[in-house]
Amino acid sequence: MNTRVNRQTVELSAYPDLVVIYLGMRVNRITGIKTLLGFGPQISAWAGAKPDGLLRHETLIYSLFAMNIGMRQYWRDPDSLLHWTRSDPHRQWWMDFLKDSGGTGFWHETYFRRGGMEAIYDDLAAPIGFMTFAPVVPARGPMFGASARIGKEYAGAPAVSEAELYTSTPKQ
């Protein structure tokens, strides 16, 4: 067969524990535009610092109409990703967001090369991704942290514990 298409693939054997994560932030209210735009420079600076285990970081526009901007990240392994999520600045960003989403919604879906998927959806005005076809349940108890949601323990407790989130004093 004669073709003009340059077909290529990748050899992933050097990355047996590869993790791919899609993340997005959607504007729910006009005030969310400020929140969304405020995260951009912080995320760019963080990705530019190349944390250990981050192989690639890409910015994506999922929908201009719905103001849904996101990222795709490739991590060497789950431990690298989970270590980063449990350290600052991510831990503080996550704690602040979970206390006040600032007029936005946030979601991520994570895919593990060795098997398993997990997701979280916070303050989304409309279903996206897995939410459009799978049962939606509260992210409490065993569904609170990413490690528990995929049924594996990689790096211990979540970035923000359930007790911390629901028992700490609100921001003034």
Query: Could you read off the pLDDT of 123-140 as tens digits, one per residue?
Result: 998 899 999 999 999 999
Adjacent-strand bridge partners of 68: 26, 63
Q: How far apart are CA 54 and CA 74, in angstroms?
A: 6
pTM: 0.86
Instruction: Identify the CA nearest to 74 among candidates 36, 112, 115.
Output: 112
pLDDT at residue 18 is higher than 90? yes
Query: Could you read off the pLDDT of 52-101 as tens digits, one per residue?
Result: 999 999 998 887 676 888 999 999 999 999 889 888 888 888 888 999 99
Handedness of CA 81, 85, 86, 88 (dihedral sign): positive
Contact 89, 159 (CB under 8 A): no
pLDDT band at 154 (very low <50, low <70, confident <90, very high): low
The token pair at 157 is 């407790």
Burial class (CB in 10 A: 0-12, 13-18, 19+), 107: buried
Query: Could you read off the pLDDT of 83-95 as tens digits, one per residue?
Result: 898 888 888 888 8
What is the number of other CB atoms lying within 10 angstroms of the CB of residue 88? 11
Query: Could you read off the pLDDT of 28-40 as tens digits, one per residue?
Result: 999 999 998 888 7
Which residue ranges form the domains of the chain, and what is each CATH number? 19-164 (3.30.70.100)
Name the percent of the chain in helix, strand, coil, to the closest 5: 30, 25, 45
- Position with higher pLDDT, 21 vs 148: 21
Can you tell me the mean pLDDT for 10-18? 97
